[in-house]
Structure 1
Amino acid sequence: MKNNKILMIMLILLLTIAIVGAGAFFYLWKYTGDQKEKEPSIDEVIESSVDIEEMTTNLATDNFIKISFKIQTDSKKAKEELEKRDFQVKNIIIQELSEKTAEDMKGKKGQTILENDLKEQINEHMQEGKVVQVYITSSLLQ
């Protein structure tokens, strides 16, 4: 009889520990697990973005392009650095476009490739943050 009482107490304790452990697991999983980063509001995007005014440059072919960009950074410090690196950014854009043909620049795919290439090359120069996205804000191919 005494053994049954001890066994019953042990089972109750084990069950209690299991329930508490499961509750702790679900709490930690829900509130500290893989939470997606909150997307920045449009005001935050604008606050951390730099405009590159319209540029006209030659492509690798006999064509030329008039193009402008908005470059989104991950912080205000990165924006300030990018504004100081304006001349380097323009140089990167001109060099990148000089390698492109008119055919490369046509369509969504070509523009997306250009945006990603510029993002990667600009990020190589950044020290106070990084470029999150490059947007083409106007483009005229001739």
Structure 2
Amino acid sequence: MKNNKMLTMIIIVLVAIILIGVIAFVLINQFNKPTGSLEPTIDEIVEASVEVPEITTNLADNKIVRMSLKIQTTNKDAAEELTKRVFQVNNIVIQELSEMEQKDLEGKQGKQIFQKSLKTRLNELMQEGEVQEVYFTSFITQ
């Protein structure tokens, strides 16, 4: 009888210790989680961005477009890769624009569609990261 009571007490103490340990582990993990996504600083964005020199080309409707771009990548290595691929970026921009008319680039929505298309095409090239955003730094159509 006495052994059964002693065994029961030992089991209860062990279960209590295990429960306390599990609760402590869960609480520590919950408090150590980062709150929300960590947005990059402007310095990190600039470091991971590539300036594309001004491009002038014809559109499908024989209008002319002149633009400069800044392309934000995921990290510095991706930016270095994209810098080496600027000639490919220019080629993709010219190809995309050659199929568009001036009306396709009008307004906010037209420019956003072009940016999204460009981002998709550029990400197909990338090996060291990916393109996060495409920004216009100048944009003129005639």
Q: TM-score normalised to the size of structure 2? A: 0.82
Moved >6 Å (runs of 4+): none
1:14-48: CA deviations, max 9, x gaps?
A: 233212201102222442x5765422111111112
Matches within 5 A, 1:6-85: 6-31=7-32, 36-85=36-85
Displacement of 1:91 in angstroms is 0.6
Query: Which amino acid in 2 is paired with 1:11?
Result: I
Which stretch of the first structure deviates more once superposed, 131-140 or 74-83?
Answer: 74-83
- SS of alignment partner, residue 62 of structure 2: coil
| Corresponding letter in the other structure for 1:67 | M
Unaligned runs of 5+ in 1: none
- Deviation readout 1:98-138 (Å, 9 max, x if unpaired): 11222221222221221121111112122232222111112
Alpha-carbon shift at residue 78 of structure 1 (Å): 1.9
| Structure 1: distance between partners of 2:13 and 2:81 | 62
What number of residue pairs does the alignment pair up? 141
| Partner residue in 2 for 1:121 | 121
**Counterpart position of 1:130:** 130
Q: 3-state DSSP class of the match of 1:61?
A: coil
Amino acid at match of 1:10: I
Distance in 1 separating the partners of 2:137 and 2:75: 21
In the alignment, structure 2 segments of 5+ residues that lack a partner are none
Letter in 1 for 2:22: G
Aligned pair 1:93/2:93, yes or no? yes
DSSP 3-state at the match of 2:19? helix
